[in-house]
Amino acid sequence: MSQNLSNPLEEVCRSLLLTVGEDPGREGLLRTPARYARAFQELTSGYSQSLEEVVGNGIFHEKCSEMVVVKRIEFYSMCEHHLLPFFGHAHVAYIPSGKILGLSKIPRIVQMFARRLQLQERMTEQIADAINELLQPTGVACVIDAQHLCMMMRGVQVQSSSTSTSALRGAFQRHAPTRSEFMNIIRADQ
């Protein structure tokens, strides 16, 4: 059965199915190339977003100077090495210095960077640097805990391991009590 595929991602999927020995004309696979294309576009939608678009009018001038923490932000991303998912939680904090960010904007920033082909280490740095750039706060911290299907499904095939990465800026990097306060907050209720 011949199919008219207009999206290059659909062609990639069809070629992949043929390469592994499948029949893209089989009933269960007829619409798979189109579904794959839509899914892959969604999973990489962060490339079409900018920090300015994601944040919009979400920056406010306030005299707050105490730590703001948004923890357990769920995310799903794709490992750039194997194109397999990794997923987990991001914990983000900053200490305002005249500006605050609408709370919903922090998960939006996490999602923007997660919806790209990624390395967990890079994503952690990108989130911290983005908030640092937007607010010029006294400090920024980002910790990500994730599980990687490239380690679980293939290769070493360990099921219960997780990876933690951190990016610390300003007071979180220079001041151990500030860093400890953040770590205690994100570990609470876990």
Nearest 5°: phi and psi at 91? -120, 120
Instruction: Reply yes or no on whether 64 is catalytic.
Output: no
Instruction: Reply yes or no on whether 61 is catalytic.
Output: no
Determine which one of 53, 62, 74, 80 is catalytic: 80
Determine which one of 22, 82, 147, 175 is catalytic: 82
Strand order in the sheet with 85-95: 117-118, 68-79, 85-95, 139-148, 163-170
- 79, 152 in Cβ contact below 8 A? no
Determine which one of 150, 173, 175, 181 is catalytic: 150
Residue 130's contacts (CB-CB under 8 Å, 6 or more residues apart) are 51, 109, 113
Determine which one of 111, 118, 120, 126 is catalytic: 120
Determine which one of 13, 118, 126, 148 is catalytic: 148
Instruction: Reply yes or no on whether 148 is catalytic.
Output: yes
- 99, 63 in Cβ contact below 8 A? no
Determine which one of 53, 62, 74, 81 is catalytic: 81
Q: Rounded to whole angstroms, how far apart are CA atoms 155 and 175? A: 39
Instruction: Reply yes or no on whether 91 is catalytic.
Output: no
Determine which one of 10, 79, 118, 126 is catalytic: 79
Instruction: Reply yes or no on whether 13 is catalytic.
Output: no
Q: Cite the active site residues.
A: 79-82, 120, 148, 150
